Homo-oligomer: A and B are copies of this chain.
Amino acid sequence: MNDKSKKYRSHCPINFAQETFGDKWSLLIIRDLMFKDKKYYGEFLLSDEKISTNILADRLEKLETAGLISKAIDAENNSKKLYSLTQKGLDLMPMLIEMIAWAAKYDKESAAPKAFIKQFKKDREGLIHELLTRLKDTSK
């Protein structure tokens, strides 16, 4: 385990994403941090999908190692750890919103905040232009 360098199946960006948070639980933890304002271990355990304690601990560690979340001591309670998203984690938001929008369109069952998504898409046209600009830059 001293070899920190992870071996990737390929250097495709989609594969990179898949290998970073493509397991069964990581994205749900990120969701809880990003959209449900959860911060504590116990709060994650309460989510509908019922993650078990060992898996949660493992995923929190992996996500921290991957640099998507960070851990701090709760100021008001030393024995509590406070989890939060890093910038790298926060930067997953556009992708998650698109994912939610897609699911909202195709999963009638899933309760997705449609008004919220609508607003997001509107706001986010600017972001796409930004992306295009970025794409143009990187292709020079």
Contacts and interface: CB of A to CB of B under 8 A. Distances in A.
A110 B16 contact: yes
A52 interface: no
A78 interface: no
Interface of A: 8-18, 22, 24, 27-28, 31, 47-50, 67, 88, 91-92, 94-107, 109-114, 116-118, 120-122, 125, 128, 131-132, 134-136, 138-139
Contact of A138 (B48, B104, B128, B138): B104
Contacts of A135: 101, 117, 120-121, 125, 128
A12 B48 contact: yes
A111 to B, nearest CB: 6
